[in-house]
Amino acid sequence: MGIKEVKASQGYRLVNTKYPPISLFDDVADAEDFDKLYAIQAMTNPRLRDEVGDVTLIAPDEIPYQCQRGRSFAIAPFTHINPSGGRFSDGLFGALYIASTEQTAALEVRHHQQQYWQNVEGLGYDRFLFRGLIVTHQAAPIYHIDTSQEAVLNPSSYIDSQQLARELKQQDFQAVHYPSVRDENGECWALFTPKPVSDVVQSYLLEMIWDGDSISEVNKVDHLCL
């Protein structure tokens, strides 16, 4: 059996602009630098834990030091874990979700944002701004899911998909590739580690308008403010 070349895949991700890049991750060149800077800043910066997240949730060798741009955006989902979990993350471990197109990323995020804001009482008109990120990775091995796996792609339940994610992580899969549930023509990846990410570049801004009942508009913003 020959060595199969691992080709780079590129996709899109949206991150709320209220979450800035984590400077500590972007400033280091290797594990030794990270340990030193973290120790120094921990003594002088009381907000470090909020900014960096829980670094014990990620092994030092998982940090993608080879990623020259946007390293912190690759790491953040693994140190700031959503306690409610997601399709392929269960609240105990994180995942980096990437979509095949800008439209797919927007439809995925719009769905989850709308679910969240509909449960916030008294929220009137509001505007939410997202950074559009282009993410390049070379994850391998990848577990591929097709449309026949209906339980894993259930639009309203993550029970089967989270169980599959736990099994895949135990088998050392780096990612899962699956059809988007919110965009019939889209595809998505969920990376179980940031290690294979080689580049994350900010490329556009997207706004979502909440009209009091739903997200009524999704628009690209002309000027990119980083």
List residues bridging with 176 in a β-sheet.
Answer: 143, 190
Contact 33, 120 (CB under 8 A): no
Tokens of 117: 């804001």
| pLDDT, position 4 | 41
In this predicted structure, what is the pLDDT of residue 2?
35
The H or E element spanning position 73 is helix 71-79
pLDDT of 26? 79
* 183 within 8 A of 109, measured Cβ to Cβ: no
> How far apart, in whole angstroms, are the C-alpha atoms of residue 137 and residue 176?
13
pTM of structure: 0.89
Q: Please write down the HEC assignment for all residues of 169-197.
A: HHCCCCEEEEECCCCCCCEEEEECCCCCE
98: Cβ contacts below 8 Å, ≥ 6 apart: 11, 12, 13, 105, 135, 137, 188, 189, 190, 191
Which long-range contacts does 147-152 make (Cβ < 8 Å, 24+ apart)? 147/179, 152/178
CA-based nearest residue to 188, from 178, 200, 173: 178
Residue by residue, pLDDT tens for the chain (226 residues) are 333 445 779 999 999 998 888 877 877 778 777 777 777 777 677 676 778 888 889 888 899 999 989 999 999 999 999 888 999 999 999 999 999 999 999 999 999 999 988 888 888 899 999 999 999 999 999 999 999 999 999 999 999 999 999 999 999 999 999 999 999 999 999 999 999 999 999 999 999 999 989 999 999 986 555 4
Show the tokens assigned to 55.
Answer: 């670094």
The pLDDT score that the predictor gives to residue 167 is 97
Give me the residue spans of the domains in the chain.
Answer: 9-221
Closest CA to 114 of 217, 6, 214: 214
Residue type, 25: F
Sheet holding 9-16, edge to edge: 142-144, 175-179, 187-191, 96-99, 9-16, 126-137, 197-210, 215-221
Q: How many helices (H) and strands (E) does the chain have?
A: 6, 8
pLDDT at 77: 95
